[in-house]
Amino acid sequence: MKKDPHRVNTKMHATKRQTRLTPVDITEGAWCARTPLRVSFGGGGTDFEEYFCRDGGFVLSATVNRYITTRIAPWEGEGIRIDCPDGSVVFDPETESSISVEDPLSYTKSVLLRYQRDHGLDLSMTMDLPMGAGLGSSGSMGVNLVGLLECVGGNSRSRAEVAETAFEIERNHLGRVTGRQDHYAASFGGMNKIFFREGEVEVVPLELDESSWEGLQQRILLFHTGVARDSSPIAGGQQRSMQQRDSSVLARLDRIRELGLRMAEGLESGDLDILGELMHLSWLEKRNVGSRVTTSRIDELYETATRAGALGGKICGAGGGGVMMLYCLPENQDRLRSELSAARVKEISYSFERSGIHVFSDHVEVDS
């Protein structure tokens, strides 16, 4: 039996057939939220409204066991004490209602402004990987904060509502250029086919048996290029091309969407290796969507990888740096690792994560 898809009308925030996050009592002590990062196999860029409102978008992605974790506890002081990788500060939502986009804590503060409280909070956050890796960190962080603050605020929200709220804060309040895929991946978790249409997002779990899960885990490798990047300027150029109806960019995005759909069809039919072949074709399209998607360093690394036996791959996220994902058969992986190690590239260990946002305390779990 096929699993039920999850749908949200992004204009009305209505949801169907999906689990909801459960309210918690913060007076009982500290509560935490954990959200996974993600890898996107195909369809990236078609999750922008400027594209999918025309013909619909599609992304195939999976979450991995690298996380963002936030802990919230009562605090007797005034305001909210924040301790994050980007800095530490005491933030008072009542007096600091205007947030500069240059503030390294702007995203955290913007989410907190939406959930103003009449008593103090102590908020700390950890990240398994730094921002700029191309694994959807900002979207995962937004879902993490929104989901946790909704729960401690006594609200029951669906995963789609949490994802959409996090997107709305990042895109509309902070003015960042981003699509929706990262927020929905972090909220739902697992390997999903995500369809984007005007006014609707549909999340459909990919139908894989256990041997396919294991086979993909063995064949997909992640390497950090050593270059962190800010995705917003890169995505901004692509967004402008969509708004201007650049026929060349739109044609490439059409091709990227279709290749993503073929990836999903191939995997569900049991043909794992077609993923590598189609990722290669998709990367050839993506690298030409914008002038800053690739660099000479990225091109050299990708050429090295394919010569060493990788069937295909891509730069995760908007491009410009961060993590390179490669599809390589097990018998070629020793050579691939050796060649990339010589090129001063570090492998990132991971496993697939089948759950999305997870809220918990020391004594009870409140969602799955």
In a domain, 142, yes or no: yes
Mark whether 191 and 263 lie in a shared domain: no
Reported pTM: 0.91
Phi, psi of 16 (to 5 degrees): -135, 140
- Which band of pLDDT confidence, cut at 50, 70 and 90, is reported for residue 16? very low
Of 119 and 354, the structure prediction assigns the larger pLDDT to 354
Over residues 106-115, the pLDDT tens digits come to 999 999 988 8
CA dist 111 and 123 (Å) reads 12
**199 and 257 assigned to the same domain:** no
- Under DSSP, the state recorded for 30 is -
Q: Which long-range contacts (CB under 8 A, 24 or more apart) does 206-212 make?
A: 206/60, 206/264, 206/267, 206/268, 207/2, 207/3, 207/268, 208/267, 208/268, 212/267, 212/270, 212/272
Q: What is the pLDDT of residues 120-162, one digit of tens each?
A: 899 999 999 988 889 999 999 999 999 999 999 899 999 999 9
Cα distance between residue 15 and residue 20, in whole Å? 10
Residue 341 to residue 339: CA distance in whole angstroms: 6
How many angstroms separate the CA atoms of 117 and 115, rounded?
Answer: 6
Q: Clarify whether residues 202 and 231 are in a common domain.
A: no
Q: Please indicate, yes or no, if residue 115 is contained in any of the structural domains.
A: yes
Domain assignment present for 145: yes
Range of the domain at 65: 6-208+353-360
313 in the same domain as 333: yes
Structure-token pair, residue 277:
């072949």
Does residue 367 lie in a domain region? no
Residues 133 and 250 in one domain: no
My answer on whether 196 and 284 are in the same domain is no
Same domain, 223 and 319: yes
d(CA 100, CA 230): 17
The band of 14, judged by pLDDT with boundaries at 50, 70 and 90, is: very low
How many domains is the chain built from? 2
The predicted-structure confidence for 186-241, as pLDDT tens digits, reads as follows 999 999 999 999 999 999 999 999 999 999 999 999 999 987 766 666 666 666 76
- Identify whether 316 is part of a domain: yes
Which domain CATH number covers 284? 3.30.70.890
* One-letter identity of residue 353: E
- What is d(CA 43, CA 55) in angstroms, rounded to the nearest whole number? 13
Q: List the beta bridge partners of residue 80.
A: 91, 121
Give the integer Cα–Cα distance in Å for 192 and 196: 13
Q: Are residues 238 and 198 in the same domain?
A: no
